[in-house]
Amino acid sequence: MAKANLVSLDSNAEIGPRPRVSTSSGTTTSAGNGVVRRPQHHPSSSAEPWEERHAPEYQVAQIADPDHPFQLELGGSLPVVHLAYETWGSLSAARDNAVLVCHALTGDSHVASHPETPGSPAGWWEAMVGPGRPLDTRRFFVICVNVLGGCGGSTGPTSPHPDDGRPYRRRFPLITIRDMVRAQHQLLLKLGIPKLRFVIGGSMGGMQALEWALMYPEAVGALVSIAAPLQHSAQAIALNAVQREIILSFAPGTGPAGDFGLAHQPPEPGLKTDSKSEREPGCTPESGPGSTPGAQPGPESEAGVARGLALARMLGMITYQSWESMEQKFGRRPAPGSLAAAYIHAGSSSRASSGGVGYAYGDSSLADGSSASQATAADGSPATQTGASGDQTAALASTLFEVQRYLHYQGQKLVRRFDPDSYLYLSFALDLHDVGAGRGGLEAALERLTMPVLAVGIRSDILYPPHEQQLLVQFLTNLGRPARYAELDSPWGHDAFLIEAHALGQLLRDFLTTPPAPGELIAAPLSQRPQPLLTGSTRARLQPGFRYLGPDPDQLG
């Protein structure tokens, strides 16, 4: 599988492998007629720089400069924009076999490994890309671009501000999913790729795919949206808001871009507030870590920033699971040496913890260097409560069960590779996601879609439930458009789009082999258990004459 090193911004240039020379200054030059300069990024001290982990495998293109700034949907502009991207396979002579893969919230351009690069690590969708795989690189030229606002080599909060060279941090302007897509579109035009065979993505990647089809319908041959809604629901917004609140509580700095509506927003009438009128000295947004525009958090705050991102990730990870997946992975299996282990096994050697197939992962250290403490006695055995008095903080904060260890591990893992400010900005963009915004509503917006569409739901997804994907096909079917709904009957929750590569690959092959006909309504076999109902404003949007894919509401009581 040949990886095409796209280095020239000349749209007439040949696209194919070219030798590169990496220099100590962080730039990459290429033999041929183009030079790509890797911009210097300044991630948080806790994160391992993307540039060091993937320097041999990704390319960077500049799509905006001070003479041609990148205009943003919410106002303002970016004078310089770089986008990092990776490619697999070869572009055909007709330039008609390109496939764009859009990544999710904490993803990046490294979808899969590059066999021609020694030591290339597996990507986040490894089983989907390669010879003979669903995204077959013998047939397709696969591209993935790190999103604007990310921290995987593209311009984002860790990038240097043009005024002083220090990281933007929260001086970075607010962005939307549409901004990400417009930036990708400009990149592809510069690379001489006017049309995509299809665009595919899951979660935030599916939202980008939807916007690609709506913003550039003439450039998208087909759309595959997986586990992605047409608009962010109240529940999803609430979950993201809490995650941002957690991060900002550890690093509450503000800047010209604002504080995401948290630090200074007055309480709503009738809401009970804290009795203190001001925060404690040193903890106000004005004086707290990161409050100086352009300044990085000081050493004293680095552990706190890492802890905030880790905790936000822990909450996010719960939404990517399901009741079934939690039970299958962990059940009530106690953490080794914990008070829960002593309690569950007390007095009976035959008593065993229930459930849990077991998952291998690292230790339970938190991102700030502390540990997910267990309540232990001086001799190292699990502590027991011997009286009614005494501070029980250690016990209450202890890691009792394996599921807690897993969440701590996932939080710590993200801190090592992701920037907290990028997490803030991208989750904010997710909450603004609404394909009907500024387009006269959902139905008016979706009238633009004439290409074949595959919408994939996940039966156990609690973050973006299946009916949110069904809604897209319901609209398109009643508009007489070629759209198909399929569902992964998987217990793994939202994460199933990353796990169930075999089943997803079969759905994709079927879609490409036999695209849906206009007006066709195909639903993969659904579970027999009741599916969520479309109620309230959603149901109203389906009238009149919109067919409902779920069970008969009258039979659900």
- Contact between 139 and 96 (Cβ < 8 Å): no
- The amino acid present at 130, given as its one-letter code, is G
Q: How many CA atoms lie within 13 A of 401 on its CB side?
A: 15
Which one of the listed residues 461, 467, 490, 495 is annotated catalytic? Answer: 461
Judge whether 461 counts as a catalytic residue: yes
- Contact between 72 and 175 (Cβ < 8 Å): yes
Which residue, among 474, 478, 449, has the nearest Cα to 224 in the 3D structure?
Answer: 449
Which one of the listed residues 82, 185, 433, 494 is annotated catalytic? Answer: 494
Distance CA 119, CA 470 (A): 41
Query: β-strand 483-488 against 453-458: which pairing, if any?
Result: parallel
Give the long-range contacts of residues 422-425, CB within 8 A, separation 24 or more.
422/149, 422/150, 422/151, 422/156, 422/157, 422/158, 423/105, 423/106, 423/243, 423/247, 423/309, 423/312, 424/157, 424/170, 424/244, 424/247, 424/248, 424/260, 425/149, 425/156, 425/157, 425/172, 425/174, 425/175
In the DSSP assignment, the letter for residue 380 is S
Distance CA 133, CA 135 (A): 5
Judge whether 179 counts as a catalytic residue: no
Distance CA 84, CA 136 (A): 22
Token pair, residue 355, equals: 């459930």
Which one of the listed residues 90, 154, 203, 364 is annotated catalytic? Answer: 203
- Contact between 487 and 456 (Cβ < 8 Å): yes
Judge whether 41 counts as a catalytic residue: no
Active site residues: 203, 461, 494
